[in-house]
Structure 1
Amino acid sequence: MTKTLPASAQVVIVGGGVIGCSVAYHLTKLGFTDVVLLERRQLTCGTTWHAAGLVPTLRATYNMSMLANYSATLYDQLEAETGQATGFVRNGSLTIATNKERLSEIKRGASMAKVAGFPCNVIEPDQAKELWPLLNIDDICGAIHLPMDGMASPVDVTQALAKGARMGGAKIIEGVKVLDMKIRDGKAAGVITEQGDIDAEYVVNCSGMWAREFGKKAGVNVPLHGAEHFYVVTENMPDLQSGLPTLRDMDGYCYYKEDAGKLLVGMFEPGAKPWGMDGIPEDFFFDQLPDDFDHLEPYLEAAMHRVPKLMETGLQVFFNGPESFTPDDRYHLGEAPELRNYFVAAGFNSVGIQSAGGAGKMLAEWIKKGHAPQDLWDVDIRRNMPFQGTQAYLQERTTETLGLLYETHYPFKQFKTSRGVRRSVLHDQLKAQGAVFGTESGWERANWFAKEGQAPEYEYSFGRQNWFDNNKEEHDAVRNSVGVIDQSSFSKYQVEGPDAERYLNRICSNNVAVPVGKMVYTQWLNERGGIEADVTVTRLAQDRYLVVSGVACQNRDMDWLRRNKPDDAMVFFTDMTSAYAVITVMGPNSRATLSKLTRDDLSNEAFPFASSREIEMHYAIVRASRITYVGELGWELYIPTEYAASVYDAITEAGAEFGIRPYGYHTMNSLRMEKCYRHWGHDITDADSALEAGLGFASDFNKEGGFIGKEALLAQKEAGPLQKRFVAFLFEDAEPLCYHEEPIWADGKIVGRTTAGMFAHTMGATIAMGYVEHSAGVTKEWLDNTSFEIEVECERYKVTPSLRSFYDPAMEKIKC
């Protein structure tokens, strides 16, 4: 039957699962009344209908935990608002550990829960059995209990959100398939359906497993892939108590949910089965996939070990339904970089019910405000690269990502699948030197170098991993002599044209109207003063600049350059990332090493800090830039890729007399932590102002024309002492290691959380960094007169705070 479609709407949402209905609901809460949601068949018919309905609150990061907590709060009140039951109950959750490393992980989560304000109790095995009487605790060494976690009926939650959206004026139309997009002037302009067109100001892709294919119609990359996902439901179990907390045995890759006297056992198994390689069948509709008992047998055996009563209980339901998974197990949210006014909320990795409330709220606010309402880099769709949307990459990665939800989430853990996508031209040379590679945005990067006779592979732990001593030796080489690192994965952009200076001076907080050959460290700020990018800008010519940024920011940065370009500006952007390899040589003997390969004068007088020029280096012409991210004398060498291998060999040979060592990204991290250098996406984000981050020195408030965010920073200055500031901390105890999200305590109260941490070999203890809040102002006087601690695995350790770097705060070593 033909549906009566409106000719236009302010917002069209494609997809009627729990995510699409949440977006519609939250848009109406913000005053959007002209909202249309289109569902090709019936609400929930894709994957929502067969979800387990778990609503935990604790996620891997603070920001994601707060969004999950909002979902639980919303579902708790939705029935009272709409009259539609949701089935939501706060039955709590119980997560067990069967080994030391898993116990470390869940205790770190318990510490982070304190920052988020969630009750989370670390308990002993016998206490776990009191909460879950049928539990086998013989091999359990600890557990955590979150009493405010819950579960809900996925279909009922979706219907309640849909009803709430209708009450707010939204139109929800089932049985309408969207065929294509309408695009005008680089913006989404509506949709084309089987039953007519709808013009729209905004289009939101909430089409779940179909999101990748639907995104292609608009030229938008939405990397996700279907995977078979299993659970079983037992026959009635008389001994099973009602209202049990959801049980997670992640070491056994299973979760357990009491369901009306029966037990639902779900699996997040390694070696998952991708699905839909040939496309999703047109008639897929409330469907399930064939059973595969052989695939599940090891996990059913693990379930019988954990709950022995299962050995004498029959299975009533064996369910296999597809879910969509993303390459990094994080969902996609936000405005697509390829198309203005085209938003995405998809790829929820089997955590859609717990995420729907928070994700829907965030996306609705994003549409309303025109920017992310808070730091959402974890899930920002701009993090993705085009290759991640390819069929082969996604199919292979999906075999890993489903199981990773329950794998131990070790620090520095690397993906095993879909590797070798982007390789530096130096890859084989580094491998021959013992490089152990990690992956970032598809780049294979040397994280550390194995010694002769040492296996070049990770042995993961929350404590000192097998590369700890390697890291120390690499670290000491850079501090005391000379080290070399391949940083070809830097994102590099050329900005040129008659208006290049004027344009860059508008988006850069610092002044880039400098002489040719001068480098400028600067941020790109938003109107709120938040940091959108952290870059160096080098003037190559009067009308040409080189911008260098982090590896993960390539799509995001290019999007920022394009979206801020005035229509009449004569300025052009070229992504030069693949054109140049970057060899960085750092340390007190870096000048002596490089001087053996060039006749150019590298003295401090002839080649001062923050200068850049083309020089002869061995047989090549390279751009040498005197800058540092490790706090030592050194140069970044930008080399046309075909010359890089020979230059690298020459540097290695020239530095031999000084004991030159290759160093990896783990060492770069420990070095930069000692200098308190920030890392975008961890220490600084679009939600942190340049002043709060301690980067006000990189803004020129007096330059002609100002810059984006200037007014916000001035207002913050005028308001008095900053109530939130970025602070570095040095542990007094040399033993603990922290990484991020640990609570920061001040005189017995939580005042913030860490953004990064690493053992600092020069200092002999871990350095952590993070934001601290204090209503009277985070001043040096307050810091000096306050007792600070950082909590690691539920134990607090005394730390010394500092607003300056712990290593060479006067920067004497850099500018010698």
Structure 2
Amino acid sequence: MIEIPSKAQIVIVGGGIVGCSVAYHLSLRGVTDVVLLERKQLTSGTTWHAAGLVGQLRATHNLTRLAQYTTELYASLERTTGQATGFRQIGSLALASTEARFEELKRGASMARCFGLEVDVLTVEQAWKLWPLMATDDLVGAVYLPKDGQTNPVDTTQALAKAARSRGVRIVENVKVEEIVVEGGKAVGVRTALGDIRADIVVNAAGMWARDLGAAAGTTVPLHAAEHFYIVTEPIPGLPRHLPVLRDADSCAYFKEDAGKLLVGWFEPVAKPWGMKGIPESFCFDTLPDDLAHIEPLLETAMRRVPALAKAGIQLFFNGPESFTPDDRYLLGETPEVRGLFVAAGFNSIGIQSAGGAGKVLADWIVDGHPPMDLWDVDIRRMMPFQRNRLYLRDRTVEALGLLYAMHWPFRQPETARGVRRSALHDRLLAAGACFGETAGWERPNWYAPKDVPARYDYSYGRQNWFEHSAAEHRAVRSNVGLFDQSSFGKYLLQGPDAEAVLNRISANDVAVPVGRIVYTQWLNERGGIEADLTVTREAEDRFLIVTAAATQTRDLAWLQRHIPADARAVAVDVTSAHSVLSVMGPQSRLLLAGLTGADLSNAAFPFGTSQVIDLGYARVRASRITYVGELGWELYIPTEFTLDVFDRLAAAGQPLGLRLAGYHALNSLRLEKAYRHWGHDITEEDTPLEAGLGFAVAWNKPGGFIGRAALLKQKERGVTRRLVHFALDDPSRLLYHNEPIWRDGTLVGRTSSGMFGHTIGKPLAMGYIDNGGERVDADFVNAGRYEIEIAGERIGATATLQPFYDPANRRVKDLG
């Protein structure tokens, strides 16, 4: 008879490789009062049928660090547990059959050097010597990572489970968790058919069941299963043993040698979502029906790449479910809705290569109360409540699976499940030629196509088809006046008698300002890292308007709400949908607005950093004199129902002034010229205001202090050893995006965090952190170096500075002439 305890410190739901990894790493941290519950048997959901590929290079620095850790863990697991894992470090070979794909691979190779990965860019002949069974007539090059590998997913999971058990973790199979118990906004245990288990922490690692389990607890866990296909051949005579894993992304295929056979799998562009009507209760080591017609075209392509396949018999045609998220990045961390409920799910068919690192950092997060590194790429707080919608998830999953092997173009936009969130101006902007991108479900104009130009992307790593159109928008803002629709801003009201005291404790800057003042500030963690970057406008003695980025709407509200003391007389409310935001920016912005309002917009009456409620047309709007582009301008916060009238009046009045609609690509190029930071790229929870050059926004001596002050004071005393620097590339024909290596006097010192072409400066611009090996980084150090930035293996000269390249004295912003 199965017995379960009535209480435990931590309950983990799900016995796949991720759940077992979390249990194992908790035990390494000394937390052993842990119960892992598996509804059927370990690995029986999706782990058991995974291909077992263990790659290390991911899209970002910290995700690569996690994948590197996974490889190191698997390499040692058999030795430390006595359980065979089947891990082999045989390398991986990525092929390019187009010049564009080869550039993508070479850029990835450059990025890998930032992460300390061993990587080689190969000629076609060199690649063929590593994989002599493949046809190479259409190839242009390849990239080889010798430390990549493969493992047996079931055996590796069992090894993790064995190690966890040996340290006291209890793993119980054949017990289904029916419900996560939530009381007072906190997870307090789980409910099973055998009774309840009370717990301090619950971890939802339930794989493709995680969405419904999380939704029942009031949380958003957006994932959906899709059918995933691979074949295993009969033994192939002459097949070399220990071939590297072969990835042929242009053919959507991967090839893995195993015991003299080939496993061939695909990430097809149009996938088949599965489980729309729920997952059968009996599901355990199940497979899905064969669909040879669906995969046959890709099988024929694979045979052309590896002609031996055409002569090999197929021993197994496999179809099984894998879980995918809307953005192809997994879900990790504490849910914003329920305290004490953590998630580790949605691994997008890379669960085996991610499980070791994900399990480690989630265990650290649980034990220490915060993540051990910047995990924003996979942080569950990036997800929006609407993304649990079943129809949305099904439609996005059609595309999500194939995006793993699609070209990872700069600025690539998803094509499915679009049009979720639209501003009140959407149709007006569409008619004006807007080409929309998507952020957090919002349709946002990235650029505007002139008449007779299609408003669509033609992707490349060079200057894309919108480059000159966005440049014209950029120049209009610098020389005249532009209008941005920024309605997607996240907006909250914090109000109540204690609102000032609460917000001043959370904010690094001083928000105890007169009514009508705008404060630019960061919210820090106890380690001094930047959790949020936003503005605070004091609307009344007891009311503050907080404005943040669209992508961090969920995250920042959760941070705010969780730092309001239980006895404080203050409440935070999300008012994002209540107001549209139109930003009118440029030297002619005052003239434009003055024709539509009786308010005095002069410097004396309306100085920079202030906000007033004014009449504009028939509407009452909040006008805030602030900028993210580095020019005179105002952000207009308009009640949603008044938006169309205000826009139409601005458009009509702006016509004789040369008003131009401008999109987010222009916004990005403008802000980079001014070195304005972007949270998630240039600043994260790992970066402090001192390292980011934002010390001017810290009120060191305000009464009551602020979260993170002690850590910042220590850093201030000893000096920073890494610093955000601004770069201009010498070669205007090359473009910078992010994660390009930064070289100083021939030594690798950092990587770029964001990049864009600066049309006023006439050069590609970037920001990035440089490190001095533990020694102080100051202006002398920055200015004394000779810099190069590596793009696709080539080092290009660059100028470095701590000052913005455009208007460093802020004379344009303050309208000082």
* Superposition TM-score, scaled by structure 1 size: 0.99
Residues 538-549 of structure 1 mapped to structure 2, 5 A cutoff: 538-549=537-548
Mean Cα deviation higher: 660-669 or 188-197: 188-197
Moved more, 721-730 or 49-58: 721-730
Superposed, 1:343-362 pairs within 5 Å as: 343-362=342-361
- Quote the offset at 1:239 in angstroms: 2.2
1:661 matched residue in structure 2: 660
Question: Where in structure 2 are the equivalents of 1:74-113 lying within 5 Å?
Answer: 74-113=73-112
Mapping of residues 634-673 of structure 1, within 5 Å: 634-673=633-672
**DSSP 3-state at the match of 2:727:** strand
CA distance in 2, matches of 1:752, 1:170: 40
For the residues of structure 2 that align with 1:184 and 1:396, how far apart are their CA atoms?
34
* Residue type at the aligned position of 2:759: H
Counterpart CA distance in 1 for 2:542 and 2:798 is 48
Alpha-carbon distance in 1 for matches of 2:783, 2:517: 38
Q: CA deviation at 1:293?
A: 0.7
- Partner of 2:321, secondary structure, is strand
2:304 counterpart residue number: 305
Deviation, structure 1 residue 308:
1.2
What amino acid is aligned across from residue 632 of structure 1 in structure 2? E
Shift of 1:258: 0.4
Deviations 1:321-379 (A, max 9, x none): 00000000000000000111100000000000000000000100000111111000000
Q: Partner residue of 1:420?
A: 419
1:720-776 Cα offsets, whole Å, 9 max, x none, are x31011111111111111101111111111111111000001111111101111132
The CA distance in 2 between the partners of 1:599 and 1:772, in whole Å, is 49
Residue from 726, 741, 758 that aligns with 1:760: 758
Aligned-partner Cα distance in 1 for 2:623–2:61: 40
Offset of 1:217 from its aligned partner?
A: 2.2
How far off its partner does 1:220 sit?
1.1
Q: Establish whether residue 688 from structure 1 lines up as the match of residue 701 from structure 2.
A: no
Aligned match of 2:368: 369
Partner residue of 2:221? Answer: 222
Distance between the aligned counterparts of 1:785 and 1:679, measured in 2?
Answer: 27
User: How far off is 1:183 after superposition?
Assistant: 2.0
DSSP-derived class of the 2:665 partner: helix
Distance 2:312 2:221 in 1: 42
Amino acid at match of 1:600: A
Q: 1:146-295 alignment to 2 at 5 Å?
A: 146-295=145-294
The offset of 1:185, in angstroms, is: 2.7
The 5-angstrom pairing of residues 214-613 of structure 1 reads 214-613=213-612
Report SS of the residue matched to 2:790: strand
Shift of 1:548: 0.3
Q: Are 1:124 and 2:117 counterparts?
A: no
Distance 1:201 1:684 in 2: 32
2:25 match: 26
Query: Structure 2: how far apart are the matches of 1:186 and 1:300?
Result: 50
1-structure distance, mates of 2:747, 2:149:
28
CA distance in structure 1 between the partners assigned to 2:791 and 2:168 by the alignment: 48
Which one-letter code corresponds to 2:30 in the other structure? Answer: G
CA distance in 2, matches of 1:137, 1:239: 19
**CA shift at 1:297, angstroms?**
0.9
Q: What RMSD, in angstroms, separates the aligned Cα atoms of the two structures?
A: 0.7
Partner of 1:628: 627
* Correspondence for 1:137: 136
Provide the rounded CA distance (Å) in 2 between the counterparts of 1:71 and 1:729: 34
Map 1:678-717 onto structure 2 (within 5 A): 678-717=677-716
* Structure 1 Cα separation of the partners of residues 513 and 783 of structure 2: 39
The CA distance in 2 between the partners of 1:787 and 1:169, in whole Å, is 55
CA distance in 1, matches of 2:38, 2:471: 57
Determine the C-alpha separation between the residues in 2 that align with 1:776 and 1:400.
Answer: 47
Deviations 1:699-733 (A, max 9, x none): 101111111111111010111x3101111111111
Deviations 1:241-265 (A, max 9, x none): 0000000000000000001111110
Offset, 1:634:
0.2
Aligned-partner Cα distance in 2 for 1:462–1:113: 18
| Distance in structure 1 (CA, Å) of the matches to 2:311 and 2:42 | 38
Distance 1:182 1:545 in 2: 35
Residue 134 of structure 1 aligns to which amino acid in structure 2? L
Question: Separation in 1 of the partners of 2:183 and 2:635?
Answer: 43
Q: In 1, distance between residues paired with 2:776 and 2:766?
A: 21
Provide the C-alpha distance between the structure 2 equivalents of 1:273 and 1:185, rounded to a whole number of angstroms. Answer: 39
- Is 2:798 the partner of 1:799? yes
Name the SS for the 1:536 alignment partner: strand
For residues 417 and 744 of structure 1, the distance between their equivalents in structure 2, rounded to whole angstroms, comes to 36
Alignment partners' CA distance in 2, 1:387 and 1:100: 39
Question: 1:661, CA displacement in angstroms?
Answer: 0.5
Cα deviation 1:580-611 (Å, max 9, x = unaligned): 00010000100011111111111111100001
Displacement, 1:184?
2.5
Report the AA paired with residue 749 of structure 1: T
How far apart, in 2, do the equivalents of 1:548 and 1:562 lie? 15
Aligned partner of 1:741 in structure 2 is: 739
How far, CA to CA, are the matches of 1:181 and 1:260 in structure 2? 43
1:77 to partner: Cα distance? 0.2
Distance between the aligned counterparts of 2:376 and 2:653, measured in 1?
42
Q: Provide the rounded CA distance (Å) in 2 between the counterparts of 1:27 and 1:732.
A: 49
Q: What is the aligned partner in structure 1 of residue 767 from structure 2?
A: 769
Aligned partner letter, 2:595: K
- Equivalents in 2 of 1:690, 1:204: separation in Å? 33
Give ranges in structure 1 of 5+ residues lacking alignment: none
Q: Partners of 2:167 and 2:229 in 1: how far apart?
A: 36
Counterpart Cα distance in 2 of 1:216 and 1:422: 21
> What displacement does 1:659 show?
1.0
When the two structures are aligned, how many residues end up with a matched partner? 814
SS at match of 1:578: helix
Name the SS for the 1:230 alignment partner: strand
Deviation per residue, 1:652-706 (Å, 9 max, x gap): 1111122110000000000000000001111111111111111111010111111
Partner residue, 2:673:
674
Q: Normalized against structure 2, the TM-score is what?
A: 0.99
- 1:121-155 CA-to-partner distances (Å, cap 9, x unmatched) read 00011111100001111000010000000000000
Aligned mates of 1:752, 1:232 — CA distance in 2:
42
Aligned with 1:337: secondary structure? coil
2: CA distance, partners of 1:619 / 1:240: 77
Distance in 2 (alpha carbons) for counterparts of 1:644 and 1:181: 43
Give the Cα–Cα distance (whole angstroms) in 2 for the partners of residues 475 and 264 of structure 1.
Answer: 50
Q: Distance in 1 between matches of 2:254 and 2:99?
A: 20
Q: Secondary structure at the match of 1:655?
A: helix
Distance 2:751 2:737 in 1: 11
Query: Which residue number in structure 2 is paired with residue 72 of structure 1?
Result: 71
Inter-partner Cα distance in structure 1 for 2:717 and 2:30 = 33
Cα separation, 2, equivalents of 1:785 and 1:513: 41
Tell me which amino acid in the other structure corresponds to 1:564: H
Question: Match of 2:576, SS?
Answer: coil
Once residues 328 and 587 of structure 1 are traced to their aligned partners in structure 2, the CA distance between those partners, rounded to angstroms, is 35
Unaligned runs of 5+ in 2: none
Q: Which deviates more from structure 2 when the two are superposed, residues 770-779 or residues 119-128?
A: 770-779
Corresponding residue for residue 723 of structure 1? 721
Amino acid at match of 2:748: I
Name the SS for the 2:62 alignment partner.
Answer: helix
Q: C-alpha distance in 1, partners of 2:59/2:185?
A: 36
Taking only the aligned residue pairs, the percentage that are identical comes to 60
Displacement of 1:621: 0.9
SS in 1 for 2:11: strand
* Alpha-carbon distance in structure 2 between the residues aligned to 1:579 and 1:487: 13
Amino acid at match of 1:448: W
